[in-house]
Every structure is written in C-alpha cells, then in structure tokens.
Chain A
C-alpha cells in the first residue's frame, strides 16, 4: 500500500516535470520573447541586448530551464512582465479567489448532485425522475455563457438583488467578496451538478439492477436499509473519480464564467497573460494547474483504493 502511494507520487512528479518541459520548450519555440514583447518597437540593437542581459535571457536555454525549475520548486516563478511584479504575488490572491469560488460551488453542488442522482434513480421513470431529469438535461445543455448572461440580466439588472459583475480589487477580503460570488457559483454549479447527478443516477440504477440487490430484497432487507447498506456504497465509488475531475476543473479556473462575471480568478489570469504574451506567468500557471490536476487525481485514486475492499486486499496481497 505504502509502496503504491510512493509509486503514484513519483509518477505524478514525472508528469509535472514533463509538463514543465513542454511549456518551457513551447514558449521557446514561439516567435518573439519577453524582451521583444516588452520593448515592442524599440526591440533592436543595444536596448534589446540590455534587456536580454537584465532578464538573463542571454544564456543557453537549458541553463535557463534549470535555474527556472530550481526557483519554481522553491515557489519563485520570477517576474511577471506586464506589471513587473513577482509572479508569486500575482498568483496568490488569484488562487485564493478561485479557491473560494470552487469550494462554494463544490459545497453546494456535490450534495445537491448526490441527492438528485439518488432520488432520480430510486424513483426511476416516475414523476420525480422525469421532472428532475428534464431539468438536468437543460442545465447541462445550456452553455454557461448563456446561463451566466441570463442570470446577470434577471437577478442583477431586472431584480437588482445582487451585483452583476465583480468590480472589486483582486485582493479583497473574503467577506467583501461573498455577495459577488453568488451568481458565478450558481452558473457553475448548474452545469456541474447536472453532469454529476446524471452520472450518479446511472450508477445507482446499475447497482439497483444487480443480483446482490435482488438478493438483499429476497433476504427481506427493508428498502431504506438496502439502499444505504447495499446500494449506495457500491454505486458511489465510481463517482469519486468524476467528482475529483470536476474539482480539478473548478480549481483550474472556469474561464468562461470568470470572464463573463469579470471574476478575478485563475481562469481569467490565464486569458490575460496569454493575450499580454506574459510568458513567465503562462509558464507558472501551466505548472500550477498541472499540479492541481495531478494531486487531486492522486487523492481520488487513493480514496477509491481505501474504500473499495476489492482493490485494497488485492494490493495488500501483492
């Protein structure tokens, strides 16, 4: 078991290394570099040379990669080009904001998704299922930029209950941020919940049709006891991985929603730094997003392993 965890962590680290290499090479291959972008039309001759020297771009690429990687491991991603600010300081509040948004969506969305999925499965083809399933299909198919815009129109403009777009500084405190995140959270949670509810539904239906559930019924196990003891533990195991992917997706920044609501999260930072050709920031973002994905998936796998007796004993035996 321990061996397996170590193995998975090592694999994750290798993945991160490869991602960092790819982004580094990618930014190298792109025409132009930080100095040409920064100096724009003055990018020639003495000034360009000076800029190269100042940013350390005059040494060979592999040396730059090594020094970047060594610093990155210590949390220092260098300087952002646009504001000449340390990237660390740019990222910090953005990560916090994305985290706030994601956790709000997760804490609201996942329980609702589970309940809806289970209810629709247990009342399969009956009224609750038909009603909820229709709604979830709509929620799933309407693109978030439309639902977000509609939310702004109805709640913010017509009803004037909540602010429509976020116009607070990036580093505001949590409580000031709170009213601002309600609409984005609804917009995100709608799609996420619908997806997950449908997944949970089909998983529960599948388990309900299994022979061991039929056996439990024939054994005389009361309905709700059967649902909680025999059905849900087996039906929700496969859901863990989907939940993990959703969380990773949320933390990685929900680009469209953040842009529509002008929300200062990671997603918008990605868009901004790409359009500003702020390559060091793009590099830093790539590596951070990759680590989020890798670590959350690792956690999910370990959780499945812990909860599924089948896998657990198999591993121990080996």
Chain B
C-alpha cells in the first residue's frame, strides 16, 4: 500500500448567487493522491477541475467558499488552516505550476530573484549556495545558459522558456506534490511536447506526486498514471489511465474521446451534442442526461452514485456502465469529408511577401515598402474553388499574416494576390470595392472578441446582409432566420446577446455572419482552438456541411495538425514565413516530408498512452528568418551543411504531387524518416 499524500474528502465548493442560493462548482468530490503517482484531471471548461487543484493547496478563489468537506495533507485540513501555516506548506510541500507562466511571473522582478525568493522561503541555504542552486534548477529544466537567464526579466523569455522557469520555481522548494494547471495549453505543439517530456522526467527523477489538470486528453495521456474525468463539478470516472483511454466505461468520456480528431484518421470526428449544464442549474437526474446516447428513463430522475468496480480498480458514475464495458473500444467512426473541389482557380498567390518592418520616412513618402528580409516571403499557392487548404506552423510562422493580407488588413510588400484570375487584391483594404470585400470573409479564433457584446445576434447577422445586399424588413428577418437555421441555432436566438451564448454557440453566430455575405472564400483563423473538444468537433462538422451546401472555399489556419488532417484537402506547412511543404493532406501526413513537417507531426499528442511523441528538433525560438539559405536551417536535425545555410532549397515533387522544399533528396528523406 503506497502512502497517500493528499486526501480530498466530500469536498464541495461554491458561491452564493444574487438570490442567495448556494451554487456548487464542486460537488462532493473525494479522491486520494498517492505518493509518486501522476493523476490527470480532465474535463471541459467549467467542469471545476482548476478549482479542485487550487483547493488541494488550500486556496479558494475570491468569491468562492468551501461549503463542506476537506483537503487533508499531512493529516491536517488545508481549507481550515491559517494563512501563516499555509505559507509554510505552499511552495515547500505543495507547489503549483500555473497555466500561463507569462502572466504568472511578476513582471518587475528578475527570473533569478523569483526563484531565489522560493529558495529563501523554503530552504536554509546561504546566499552563495542559493546562487548555485538557481543555476542547478535552471539547468534541470533545460534552459540554456542559466546564469544569463537568471538576470533576465520574464518578458524577455519565450513562452516555452517562461513555462520552464515556472517549473524551476516550483521545484525550488522540493515539494512532495506538484499541481499543474494546464501547464502546456498556451504553448506551441513542439514546445508542449518538450515541456511534457521534461515533466515526465522530473516525476521519475524526483519521485514527486503530480496532479495534472488539463482539457487536453492528448497531454493527459502522456503523463498520467491515473485519470479523473470531471463533468459539471462531479467526478464521473476515475481509474488507471490506460483503461480510461482505451476502454472508457462512462458515456461522457466515450463521447469525448470520439470527438477528438486523430492524425491516423482522415475525416471529421463525431461530435457530442449539447453542452455542459451551467453551475446552479437544477437537475434531479444524471447531469449528463441531456447529452447521453445511452440514457434510459431512470437516468432522468435518479442521479447515479460513483460506484467502485474492484475488478477494474475504477470508479464510475453511470447506471449503464456494464453495457458500455462490453463494447466500448473507442472505435472511431468518422464522417468522411466529401471534396467539392472544382477545376477552377479562385485565388492565386504568387511571389507574395509581407513585411512588418517600420517604414522609414522616405519610403512612406514614396509609398513603398523596403525590407530585404520580410516576415513572409516567396509564397506561391494556387487555390481551387471549393477547396479547403490549411496553413499550418508554429506561432510566428506567418500563417495568420498571410490570412490578414488576403483579407486586406495588411498590404503586401511584393507579389500578387489574384481573385478568380482577374481581380488583383494585392493592395490594401482602402482600394478594394465592396464586392471585393464581400467575397472574402473572416472567422476569428475567439468569438468573445469578434462579436460586438452590445449587439444582439440579429443585429450581428443583419449587418452584412444590409451592407452587401441592402436587405430590409421582412426579407432581412427571413434571411437571418435562414442563416441561423443553417448553423443549427433556433429563431429564438435572435434577441440574445453574445454573453448569453456558450462558446460553441458564439462561434456558430460568427460562422453565420461570415456566410451572410455569401462569400466565395472564408478565412478561418484558428476557429476551433478556443473551444472545448466536443464543441470543436461540432463546429468542424458544421463548417464541412456548409461548404458542401454552398461550395465555399476555406483557407484554414491552425496549429493543430490533427484538426487540419480532419478537415482539409490540402496542407501548406510554413516556417518563419516561408513555405516548407505543400501537398494533398493525405500525403503530407506520410513520409517523406519536409524535416519541419516531421518535427510537427512528431510533436502531436494523441490521447493514447502507447503513442509517444517523437522529439526531433530542439524547441528554440527564432526571432527572425535567416537572411539566406533554408528557413529551417537553425533547427533542422538533418542539416547538410553549407548548402542549407547559403542556398534556398529547391522544390522537389513526390510521385503523389506533394512539393517539398529541401536540399535532401526525397529518397534520403524517406529513408531516415521511416527509421
């Protein structure tokens, strides 16, 4: 019997509503964290997972309070402890690694000081020893040249480096328990894979117990021994991670796993209907009843208890788990995407380059842009009508920049963007006529920010209809209702404000607004990355359906290669604003591919403990593209030498029509990558 270090007993946390009702965020949670194990807590936003993790440190956010239960650590209840005593536990016995290290490091204090502070508080080391310890810690989290990093301010580091600093700071107190609250969510795929690998290493190396909170089953699968699935403030499933990921016996987990797009499988995953009930909504029966495919009459009025199954060492909150147990291999069925590709070219980017450099006075006067090393360069893409083309790459790869130029928000430095073989759209917004504006519409990443909070859904969708088609009165209303139905929202949504909608509903409104203009091309900028996975699948399915109905062309920007695989016909991989590889998506996901594509593919986390990410390249952050040679030379693990540094690589075309820009011959590439 391994030692239990944290015991959560019947914990309920909530707040008082304006009417004085008690609204629960966490409902009667009990679980144990054992020494040396890593527990993953997974759930969608609003499931209470972060509140639970914070409670394990005896911290309850402003506005919330403990209604009942306890968090026992070293046989004392943290939630009843005085602040002075908590200060001795926090950072020393239990440490936190926050979600967004960029926000969680104090901006006016140097990295070294912030780590030193933890050491001063939680160790008896002398100043000299502390200095050495800081270097050791920074070394341990694999930051280059610890001495100089310690003298920097947080904003001078990249996101991945900041996250590593946060890890070092947490390790400073040599804690027995580490709480990680979405520690990799804001990071690039490659950085995320590296940070997870580091965390795994630390868990093994120090024997620290970890509680890993995330919405991302892919990340959870890589680190945890045991998984707790939360839904609406309750634990619905808890057990060994392999069993939970391979044979989920709760319908919610089952649906969640099915809604995640996989690299190995083209086509759209199945979405889970509905959304999580708001906290405070009264339900007598099972909280998952509305969305469940396996529900029965009794689920409506009786709420199931968490039942421990000895044989599986699993606890589950479902009446029907037995029937699920028999056939719950997650056999992923996907909706194959139909390509509506036509042979007509709709948008042509040739030799496009874009610069963010600040223009000198002379250039401003002459109305030209001079920058010999622009952010985006040499972009040649030919987009066919009805095609879905995806631009992928890490942050800073120029994918959103290209979208902005196509939308006219940013003028190009050189090259031509041509619509329908005749309209030249290279100039910026001011020189486009209303029809040019209508044919290209944008859907943004975050619907919270792209929808005007003071407009009703009706006003939001009416705007393009009035602007481009001059619709009025009954006709306008009819069109709005039509559009709402197309995005599967009822007529009664018209009078709602964005804040009254869930994340998925907001994004549907944004989609409806884009389609209201009857555009030829829709630019999708990370449209699903702010959404929960179950909602993401639904939005992807909706976009696909609308495309089939209207024959729209999508230009889809995403950092998530699995999502891209699911929806796109063709993929363009970008690094530092230069194209690396362009090809049909089924081919890009196979080898041979560009070394950078290989890096990206290797870093994808699948919700399967048996598929480990492959870390091919270091996750260094490059600030500027190199002046000459291959754009990926700085990080390439297969670099040949001077040729890569001096000469821009040629395009090589594979037998399947995939273009790869690399000096390494295709045969060589294939050989090294398959092994």
- Nearest CB of chain A from residue B94's CB, rounded to whole Å: 9
B88 contacts across to A, CB distance below 8 A: 220
**Which residues of A sit under 8 angstroms from B108, Cβ to Cβ?**
233-234, 237, 308-309
Query: Is B153 within 8 A of A212, CB to CB?
Result: no
Within 8 A of B (CB), among A205-221: 209-221
Contact B106 A309 (CB under 8 A): no
Contact of A223 among B59, B83, B104 (CB under 8 A): B83
Cβ contact within 8 Å between B153 and A211: no
Of residues B108, B109, B156, which shows the largest number of chain A Cβ atoms within 10 Å of its Cβ?
Answer: B108
Given the contacts A211-B100, A212-B104, A217 and B62 also touching, CB distance less than 8 Å: no
| Of the residues A214, A220, A229, A237, contact of B104 by C-beta under 8 Å | A214
Q: Is the CB of B156 within 8 A of A313?
A: yes
- Chain B residues, CB < 8 A from A237: 108
- Indicate with 1 or 0, residue by residue over A88-117, a CB within 8 angstroms of chain B CB atoms: 000000000000000000000000000000
Contacting pair B59 A217 (CB below 8 A):
yes
CB-nearest residue of chain B relative to A317?
B156
Residues of A within 8 A of B57 (CB): 218
Contacts of A126 in B (CB 8 A): none
Instruction: Give chain A nearest CB distance to B261 CB in angstroms.
Output: 30
Chain A positions within 8 Å of B90 at CB level: 217-220
Contacts A209-B62, A220-B92; A215 near B122 (Cβ below 8 A)? no
Question: B408 within 8 Å of A by Cβ?
Answer: no
B647 within 8 A of A: no
Contact, CB under 8 Å: A220 / B121: yes
Determine if B91 is an interface residue (Cβ-Cβ < 8 Å).
Answer: yes
- Report the interface size for chain B: residues with CB under 8 A from the other chain: 34
Please report the C-alpha to C-alpha distance between residue A91 and residue B43 in the assembled complex, in whole angstroms.
72
Residues 115-134 of B contacting A (Cβ, < 8 Å): 117-118, 121-122
Contact: A310 with B107, CB < 8 Å? yes
A212, A218, A310: the one contacting B59 at CB < 8 Å is A218
The answer to whether B92 and A215 have CB atoms under 8 Å apart is no
Contact among B92, B106, B153, B156 with A216 in the assembled complex (CB-CB below 8 Å): B106
Q: Is the CB of B107 within 8 A of A222?
A: no
Within 8 A of B (CB), among A26-53: none
User: Among A211, A217, A222, A233, which residue has its beta carbon within 8 angstroms of that of B103?
Assistant: A211
Please, how many angstroms separate the alpha-carbon atoms of A260 and B99 in the complex? 57
Q: What sequence of 0s and 1s flags, for each residue 150-168 of chain A, a beta carbon within 8 Å of any chain B beta carbon? A: 0000000000000000000
- Given A215-B96, A219-B169: A313 touches B153 (CB 8 Å cut-off): yes
CA distance A214 to B179 in the complex (A): 14
Say yes or no: A222-B106 contact (C-beta < 8 A), given A211-B100, A215-B98. Answer: no
Task: Please state if A219 and B153 are interface contacts (CB–CB under 8 Å).
Answer: no
Least distance between A299 CB and chain B CB atoms (Å)? 20
B109 and A220 within 8 A (CB): no
Residues from chain A with Cβ under 8 Å of B109 in the complex:
229-230
Is residue B669 contacting chain A, with contact meaning CB distance below 8 A?
Answer: no
Nearest residue (CB) in B for A314 is B155
| Partner pick for A220 among B91, B98, B103, B156, CB 8 A cutoff | B91
CA separation between A209 and B86, bound complex, in Å? Answer: 19
Say whether, besides A209-B62, A211-B100, A313-B156, A219 and B91 are in contact (CB < 8 Å). yes
Give, as a whole number of angstroms, the nearest-CB distance from B164 to chain A.
15
A145 to B480, CA, bound (A): 57
A309 near B153: Cβ-Cβ < 8 Å: yes
Q: Are B95 and A219 in contact (CB under 8 A)?
A: yes
In the complex, residue of chain A having the shortest beta-carbon distance to the beta carbon of B100: A211
CB distance from A69 to the nearest CB of B (A): 28
Q: How far is the CA of A234 from the CA of B105 in the complex (A)?
A: 12
Known: A214-B104, A310-B155. A219 touches B59 (CB 8 A): no
Measured between alpha carbons, how far is A142 from B87 in the docked complex, in Å?
45
Residue of A nearest to B113 (CB): A229
| Centre residue among A220, A234, A308 by max chain B CB count within 10 A | A220
B381 within 8 A of A: no
Which residues of the other chain, A, contact B54 by a CB distance below 8 angstroms? 218
Given contacts A209-B62, A234-B107, contact A222 B98 (CB under 8 A): no
B666, CB-defined interface residue at 8 Å: no
A234 to B107, CA, bound (A): 8
**Contact present for B89 and A220 (CB under 8 Å):** yes
B173 within 8 A of A: yes
CB-based nearest B residue for A223: B83
Chain B residues with Cβ under 8 A from A214's Cβ? 59, 98, 104
A211 to B91, CA, bound (A): 16
Q: State in angstroms the CA–CA spacing of A222 and B87 once bound together.
A: 6
The answer to whether A220 and B87 touch (CB under 8 A), given A212-B104, A309-B153, A313-B156, is yes
B361, chain A: closest CB distance, angstroms: 14
List B contacts of A215 (CB < 8 A). 96, 98, 104-106, 166
Q: Check A219 against B121 for contact (C-beta < 8 Å).
A: yes
The closest CB in chain A to the CB of B93 belongs to A220
Q: Which residues of A contact B87 (CB under 8 A)?
A: 220-222
- CB neighbours (8 Å) of A212 from chain B are 103-107
* A: number of interface residues (CB 8 Å): 24
CB distance from B61 to the nearest CB of A (A): 8
Q: Nearest CB to that of B99 among chain A residues? A: A211
CB closest residue in chain B, given A219: B91
A residues in contact with B62, CB < 8 Å: 209
* Identity of the chain B residue whose Cβ is nearest the Cβ of A232 in the assembled complex: B108
Residues on the B chain within 8 Å of A234, using CB: 106-108
Whole-angstrom distance between the Cβ of A23 and the nearest chain B Cβ = 30
- CB contacts under 8 Å to A, within B274-297, are none
A residues in contact with B91, CB < 8 Å = 218-221
Residue of A nearest to B87 (CB): A220
Closest B residue to A211 by CB, please name it.
Answer: B103
Once the chains bind, are A219 and B103 in contact (CB under 8 Å)?
A: no
Contacts of B117 in A (CB 8 A): 219, 221, 229
Chain A positions within 8 Å of B100 at CB level: 211
A313 to B154, CA, bound (A): 12
Q: Which residues of B contact A310 (CB under 8 A)?
A: 107, 153, 155
B residues near A217, Cβ cutoff 8 Å: 59, 90
Instruction: State how many angstroms separate the Cβ of B328 from the closest Cβ of chain A.
Output: 38
Give the distance to chain A from B423, nearest Cβ to Cβ, in Å: 39
Alpha-carbon distance between A210 and B107 when the two chains are bound, in angstroms: 11
Chain B 50-85, CB within 8 Å of chain A: the 1/0 string? 000010010100100000000000000000000110
8 A Cβ contacts from B22-63 to A = 54, 57, 59, 62
Closest chain A residue to B105 by CB distance? Answer: A212
Given contacts A217-B90, A230-B109, contact A210 B103 (CB under 8 A): yes
* B residues in contact with A308, CB < 8 Å: 108
Contact with B along A279-318 (1 / 0, CB 8 A): 0000000000000000000000000000011100100000
- In whole angstroms, how far apart are the Cα atoms of A237 and B108 in the complex? 10
- Tell me the residues in window 221-252 of chain A with beta carbons closer than 8 Å to chain B beta carbons: 221-223, 229-230, 233-234, 237
What distance in Å separates the Cβ of A233 from its nearest Cβ neighbour in chain B?
5
Query: How distant is the Cα of A35 from the Cα of B106 in the complex, in angstroms?
Result: 64
Digit string of B152-169 for contact with A (CB within 8 Å is 1, else 0)?
Answer: 010110000000001001
Distance of A215 Cα from B101 Cα, bound (Å): 9
A222 (CB) vs chain B CBs: closest residue: B87
Q: Nearest CB to that of A308 among chain B residues?
A: B108
Contacts of A220 in B (CB 8 A): 86-92, 118, 121-122, 173
Interchain CA distance A214-B97 in the complex, whole Å: 11
Q: Which residue of A lies closest to B104 (CB)?
A: A215
Tell me the bound Cα distance from A310 to B122 in angstroms: 29
Q: Tell me the A residues contacting B by CB distance below 8 Å.
A: 209-223, 229-230, 233-234, 237, 308-310, 313
Known: A211-B103, A212-B105, A230-B109. 10 other contacts (CB 8 A): A215-B98, A215-B104, A219-B96, A219-B169, A220-B88, A220-B121, A221-B117, A230-B106, A234-B107, A237-B108
Closest 5 CB pairs of A and B: A220-B91, A220-B90, A211-B103, A215-B104, A219-B91
What are 22 sample pairs from A and B whose C-beta atoms fall under 8 A apart?
A211-B98, A214-B98, A214-B104, A216-B106, A218-B57, A218-B90, A218-B91, A219-B90, A219-B95, A219-B96, A219-B117, A220-B91, A220-B122, A221-B117, A222-B84, A222-B121, A230-B106, A308-B108, A309-B107, A309-B153, A310-B107, A310-B153
